[in-house]
Structure 1
Amino acid sequence: MPAPSRRRRRYPSDTTVAEWALIEPLLPVEACRRKTGGRPEKWHRRDVVDAIRYLVDNGAKWRALPSDFPPWSTVYYAFRRWVRAGVVGYIRDQLRRRLRAGGGRCPYPITLIVDSQSVKAAETVGKDSRGYDAGKKINGRKRHLAVDTHGLPVMILVTPADMSDRDAARELLWRLRLAHPQLVQVFADRAYAGQLVGWADDFLDLHLRTVARPKGAKGFVVVPRRWRVERTLSWLMRARRNVRDYERLPEHAEAHLTWSLITVMTRRLARDGQPRTDTWDKKRPAR
């Protein structure tokens, strides 16, 4: 076991004691404590997690991490290892289930909302994983996000920006069906209409329902159901690392997005001691 962390918490992105109590049990067992054995970890995991959160929140480069964090190579190795092992997705799912259960809902959602967002990509993103979104006039990548009726993340998929929402939705919905067999329906905007609706119903036994803007509406309008995923997209953009895509690997881009939402969920759990439910949810039957 590494020595207790002695680094002074000085950044807004640092974990509090309550947040670390939520994250620590969800991390994999250290190699030195397994039957196969391994070297003890030199740096405390809380310092590593704080470094990842700092990088996501402030948009820093890996090599530009402040000196009070572990070496950048150590932090990046842990980040990459946890992505490959599915640890980041596991933490996301466990925190979401705890928030839902605390809000009086079933931990496993049956209704989701999906949407996409195109962002510019830096020169570090290769041509094989980027594209040009003619509609948004953006050269970069597109994020496809599935959230529950609280706006909590369920799955994130990163594709080239020139991939249409319908094509990406086939992959996203297929993964959702495999990972969440209890799903019943998914809400989306009109970009997902057409043959995709019948395909989801026939092959996935999943009801895809499109929600259109009110007729004659101009400018910004709060659209029922869809506003929750749009709010989650705004949460993502609060983290500077997510304003532009810098990652060579799409799965690393997905991990940065997930870490920013993990921070949102841990802060909500730690701040109130129990998950907060919106007034909108109190007027709706539990799903």
Structure 2
Amino acid sequence: MTDQEWEVIRPLLPPPRQGRGRKWEVDEREILNGIFYQLRNGCIWSDLPTDLLAWQTVYKYFRRWQRKGVWQQIHDQLRQSVRVSVGKNPHASAGSIDSQSVKNDGKKGEVYGFDGGKLIKGRKRFILVDTLGLLISVLMINANCSEQKGGVFVVHKMAPADSGSLQLIWVDQGYQGENFARVVGQLCGATVEVVKRSEAGFVILPKRWIVERTFGWLSQNRRLSKDYELLPEMSEAMIQGAMIRLMLQRLGGQQEVI
């Protein structure tokens, strides 16, 4: 991270634990550097470069922040900051849902399935993004989960503040139907709009390209080329970490908001 990016995220990190005994001191900036390196390059934890902190320390902090909800809080606060920086309300009023089936690396875990349409064994990523393509909610589930079921779950996982502001959700034809629209309306009050294809072949669909672009951003991180995590909550944290890195670059001045 650059100095500018570190100044953005430093206030969002949890304060050092208070208590008796020897104070444990660790460079949290190097912790984040290790996490972002692993995400970008896709290496296993034990292959982190030796000029960073010990991989056990980096993993311990990543797992601790995930369990305590710190990673989620950092992500959501950065998303609000990015939205405010481009003149938008901190909480989105419109969003888009889509899914992506990904292979696993042999560690099946409890959440595992087969997507008969894509012929992929592994898991399915459901994401809900705002009109900037920033992540509102993410869900990792078995690959044989239907689009509508996963869409309902990812809406249900939204933070209350986001749920209260969302008014419109764009989806593709895999989510069409009165039952899905009714359940989404009951969960967050949003209206579901199905964006249908108008002609054969490749066509850039209005509003739908935004969520596809987010999947493109995620694919720039080799750790997300497959689902390498045993626990689905760790997979979700990895996706949040990739978006945290992206938002830090924008807020730090390295990347323009598209």
- Range into which the TM-score falls when normalised by the shorter chain: over 0.9
Q: TM-score under structure 2 normalisation?
A: 0.94
- C-alpha distance in 1, partners of 2:159/2:78? 20
- C-alpha distance in 1, partners of 2:130/2:249? 18
Partner of 1:201: 185
Partner of 2:203: 221
- C-alpha distance in 1, partners of 2:207/2:75? 22
- C-alpha distance in 2, partners of 1:203/1:92? 22
Contact 1:125 1:245 in 2 (8 A): no
Letter in 1 for 2:15: V
Contact 1:103 1:276 in 2 (8 A): no
What runs of 5+ residues in structure 1 fail to find an aligned partner? 1-14, 279-287
Q: Give 1:206 deviation, angstroms.
A: 2.0
2:77 counterpart of 1:89: no
Contact 1:177 1:204 in 2 (8 A): no
Contact 1:146 1:156 in 2 (8 A): yes
2:10 counterpart of 1:28: no
What runs of 5+ residues in structure 2 fail to find an aligned partner? none
Q: Give 1:177 deviation, angstroms.
A: 6.6
Letter in 1 for 2:195: V
2:121 counterpart of 1:107: no
The C-alpha deviation readout for 1:155-186, integer Å capped at 9, x for no partner, is 11111111111111121112227352121111
The C-alpha deviation readout for 1:4-56, integer Å capped at 9, x for no partner, is xxxxxxxxxxx11111111111110111xx3x456533320011100000001
Q: How does 1:229-268 map to 2 (within 5 A)?
A: 229-268=211-250
Q: Give 1:223 deviation, angstroms.
A: 0.7
Q: Give 1:259 deviation, angstroms.
A: 0.8
Q: Give 1:271 deviation, angstroms.
A: 2.1
The C-alpha deviation readout for 1:38-95, integer Å capped at 9, x for no partner, is 6533320011100000001000101111111111111111010000111111111111
Q: Partner of 2:88: helix, strand, or coil?
A: coil
- C-alpha distance in 2, partners of 1:21/1:93? 17
Letter in 2 for 1:250: P
2:178 counterpart of 1:192: no
Aligned length: 256
1:58 is aligned, of 37, 41, 57, to: 41
Q: Partner of 2:52: helix, strand, or coil?
A: coil
Q: Partner of 1:271: helix, strand, or coil?
A: coil
Q: Is the deviation greater in 202-211 or in 156-165?
A: 202-211
Q: State the Cα RMSD in Å.
A: 1.6
Q: Is the deviation greater in 36-45 or in 101-110?
A: 36-45
Q: Which runs of 4+ in 1 moved over 6 A?
A: none
2:59 counterpart of 1:76: yes
Q: Is the deviation greater in 168-177 or in 103-112?
A: 168-177
Contact 1:200 1:208 in 2 (8 A): yes
Q: Partner of 1:213: helix, strand, or coil?
A: coil
- C-alpha distance in 2, partners of 1:237/1:99? 21
